[in-house]
Chain A
Amino acid sequence: MLSLDIAATGMLAQQMNVDVISNNIANMTTTGYKRQRAQFQDLIYQNKVRPGTASSAVGTILPSGIQLGLGVKPGSVYRINEQGTLSMTGNTYDMAIAGRGWFQISMPDGGTGYTRDGSFQINAEGAIVNSQGYPLEPSITIPADVTDVTISEDGLVQVKISGSNAVQEVGQIQLATFQNDAGLEAIGGNLHMETEASGTPSTGNPTDVGYGKLQQGAKENSNVNVVDEITTLITAQRSYEMNSKVIQTSDDMLGTLTQLR
């Protein structure tokens, strides 16, 4: 029976929906996380009677045919790159981007990763690194004997060396932007990689036209909206239930048939 298979596609789709929702909820407090959404599309149609075919010799046509849809399929899961709220941490090397742009991270394999997670630290050599220890790009080294580190809105890193009153520049943080942020590939660890769909990155200083500004001592929260996720979860669960009812009913109908003799 067709309805058994159709309901199975519905249950599979809703299962995927719940997978995406649970990942969003699990990452509710992940710094710089962007929520994802599963989108569905109807599957192909089986034409039992094609609309528009002749229904008589005098040229009348059927206004509607019999087109049996064969179910649903996951269309895409995509990221919604809405700005997350900023929360103050007071940590010197924490940075949040307000607006567009991604921090560039030198990956161990020589490539470049992109992240909105601005919780940076310094390593033993004084270089600014992310929480996995991968250095920020372009690399910035903080001298050992500093008393104050200031990162301005436009990404300029200035330090005050102890014993001197002069402020010294040690580097400039740059951001990368993409034509299509949603096309970036997430690789875990809050990192993303460039793809064909994202386009090639262009780099610039924060506060330049088209780039966001930096906020020192803050980090960007995840943009997951819990109320939204829970309501989506409820609809997903209910449609899962309804699909299972279809399977049950189809099974009952088949059961009725087998009782005929």
Chain B
Amino acid sequence: MENTIYIGLSRLSALQTNMSLIANNIANVNTPGYKANKIVFSEYLDKPKGMKDQMSMVLDYGNYRVADNGAIKLTGNPLDVALEGPGYLQVQTQEGQNFYTRAGNFSLNADRELITQQGYKVLDTGGSTITIPPGSMNIMIDETGSIATDEGIVSQLGVTEFENINNLTPVGNSLYQTTQPGVPAAGTRVVQNALEGSNVQGVLEMTDMIEVSRSYQSVAKMLQAEHDRMRATIRNLTSGS
């Protein structure tokens, strides 16, 4: 007879997961290249012993990343790169591990290699690091990702596209990891002097949050009513004898 409470509980815990996702989206509203996460709920059917009908509970089944491009913001920094389209840039850690990212706020290290803000090296199409020749100026990156200075073409940014971006696992620091092989980008444009903002839409997140908060309250109300009903039943039964 606690079934009502269990169903309510499944909803409360799913809503808490949803709230965490919304909080994370809002916290990252200014993170370059961040993609909003949305939750998927699914129905979980259970048929307890001695019951004719099935009970339907809710399960936080998974989440997916919204693939929309974030707004592109001009920064005036020649080493900032935004991607227009579904591609990802490839970076490599000091240990030789490869990650993908859309946050193109790069800089140069003392060896004039193109690096991310953590010091991870940005890779070219062939998978090797990109070095800007010493003394060269006016770094230009064109739409196809080709990098040139006043001394000629230097390298080509490696842009990779994936069939299913939700197979990329986020590992923090705006980096993603995957075993899925990517293909060289066909529909991605590189924009220099710009950064892709986060694609989180504040209004949507706020309305989602209100919805979560209200559903939470209504489930709590239902639990309260169920609790009162059970207490009243027990009281009635015991006071009768």
Contact = CB atoms under 8 A, between A and B. Distances in A.
Interface stretch (B45-53, B59-67, B87-95, B183-191): B59-67
B107 A67 contact: no
Interface string B152-190: 000000000000101101111110000000000000000
A226 B20 CA distance: 35
Nearest to A81: B77
B30 A14 contact: yes
Nearest to B217: A256
Given A3-B22, A180-B109, A42 B174 contact: yes
Contacts of A42: 24, 28, 31, 34, 170, 172-174
Contacts of B205: 242
Interface in A179-228: 179-180, 182-183, 196-199, 209-210, 225
A257 B108 CA distance: 51
B220 interface: yes
Contact of B167 (A52, A67, A257): A52
Given A49-B62, A82-B77, A252-B213, A243 B26 contact: yes
Contact of B26 (A7, A65, A76): A7
Nearest to A225: B76
A138 B173 CA distance: 44
Nearest to B18: A3
Nearest to A63: B166
Contacts of A6: 20, 23-24, 27
B110 interface: yes
Contact of A249 (B19, B29, B77): B19
B117 interface: yes
B240 interface: no
A210 B167 contact: no
A179 B112 CA distance: 6
B165 to A, nearest CB: 10
A80 B209 CA distance: 37
A2 interface: yes
The DSSP consensus for interface residues of chain A is mixed
Contacts of B117: 39, 41, 75-76, 78
Interface in A236-257: 236, 238-239, 242-243, 245-246, 249-250, 252-253, 256-257
A62 B62 contact: yes
B21 interface: yes
Contacts of B210: 249
Given A39-B105, A49-B62, A64-B62, A239 B202 contact: yes
A21 to B, nearest CB: 12
Which of A14, A41, A243, A246 has the most chain B CB within a 10 Å cutoff?
A41
10 contacts: A3-B22, A3-B23, A51-B62, A72-B24, A75-B118, A75-B173, A76-B117, A80-B76, A239-B202, A260-B220
Interface of A: 1-4, 6-7, 9-10, 13-14, 17, 37, 39-45, 48-52, 62-72, 75-76, 78, 80, 82, 100, 179-180, 182-183, 196-199, 209-210, 225, 235-236, 238-239, 242-243, 245-246, 249-250, 252-253, 256-257, 259-261
